[in-house]
Homo-oligomer: A and B are copies of this chain.
């Protein structure tokens, strides 16, 4: 992928894309919550070819049509989000601080102590300040409560 194309994608992400970190309740998880990272690009269904071009550049992720004439191209997961964001990062402007935090989270090791895990959960909380998220309800407090309740 050309550096100019990466710069283009950075501009597109800054303009209309979404970059986020969330704590997601997961019944199968020992610590009750999963840290989810995602990059999402939106476009009218009639321009779905643009999302297909993006997907062809990065390989990962999936495209879905919503029921409001919009389509989304979503990349989820620490590893793919970290790998893709690393390439876009040098060209980002508006979402640069947020991207730096997301990159830090993406490097979370698979095995880590509860204290270290909670540090990553706090980084997720940090990102909410940068995305002006008003709907954010799950925070590190929920994770701590879960861990205490289940004596993990």
State the A residues within 8 Å of B (CB).
Answer: 3-5, 7-17, 43, 47, 50, 53, 91, 93-94
Contacts and interface: CB of A to CB of B under 8 A. Distances in A.
Contacts of A9: 11
Contacts of A50: 14, 93-94
A50 B96 CA distance: 12
A133 B110 CA distance: 50
Contacts of A13: 11, 15
A13 B10 CA distance: 11
A11 B15 contact: yes
A76 to B, nearest CB: 20
Contacts of A15: 11-17
A11 B43 CA distance: 13
Contacts of A91: 4, 8
Contacts of A94: 43, 47, 50
Contact of A14 (B3, B7, B12): B12
B8 A5 contact: no
Given A8-B11, A43-B94, 7 more contacts: A7-B8, A9-B11, A11-B14, A14-B15, A15-B15, A15-B16, A16-B16
Q: Most B CB atoms within 10 A — which of A15, A16, A17?
A: A15
A91 B12 CA distance: 12
A10 B3 CA distance: 14
16 contacts: A7-B8, A8-B8, A8-B11, A8-B14, A9-B11, A11-B15, A12-B12, A12-B14, A13-B15, A14-B15, A14-B50, A15-B15, A15-B16, A15-B17, A16-B16, A43-B94
